[in-house]
Amino acid sequence: MDDLLAQLRAAFPQLTYTKGTQFCWSPENREVIYRQTASGVKSQWSLLHETGHALLEHNSYEADFELIRMELAAWNKAQEIAQSLHMEIDEEHIQDCLDTYRDWLYKRSICPSCNTKCLQQDDFVHYRCFNCHTNWRVSPSRFCRAYRSTKNVRQPAVFN
- Angle at alpha carbon of residue 103, lines to 74 and 64, rounded to 5°: 55
User: Does 144 interact with Zn ion (rule: CB under 5 A)?
Assistant: no
Interface with Zn ion in residues 64-83 (CB under 5 A): 71, 74
What does the per-residue mask of binding to Zn ion show for 26-65, with x meaning CB under 5 A?
----------------------------------------
Nearest distance from residue 67's CB to Zn ion, in Å? 8
* Contact pick of 39, 84, 95, 113 for Zn ion (by CB under 5 A): 113
The span from the CA of 116 to the CA of 112, in Å, is 8
Using CB under 5 A, which of the segments 7-15, 31-39, 123-131, 147-155 binds Zn ion? 123-131
* Contact pick of 48, 129, 138, 158 for Zn ion (by CB under 5 A): 129
User: Does 114 interact with Zn ion (rule: CB under 5 A)?
Assistant: yes
CB 96: neighbour CB atoms within 10 A? Answer: 11
Alpha-carbon dihedral sign for residues 46, 81, 11, 69: negative
The SS3 of residue 6 is: helix
Separation of CA 58 from chain center: 10
- Whether the Cβ atoms of residue 58 and residue 74 lie closer than 8 Å to each other: yes
Judged by beta carbon, residue 55 or residue 129, the one nearer Zn ion is 129
Nearest distance from residue 25's CB to Zn ion, in Å? 7
- Angle at alpha carbon of residue 139, lines to 135 and 142, rounded to 5°: 135
Question: In the complex, which residues of this chain contact Zn ion (CB under 5 A)?
Answer: 71, 74, 111, 113-114, 116, 129, 131-132, 134, 159
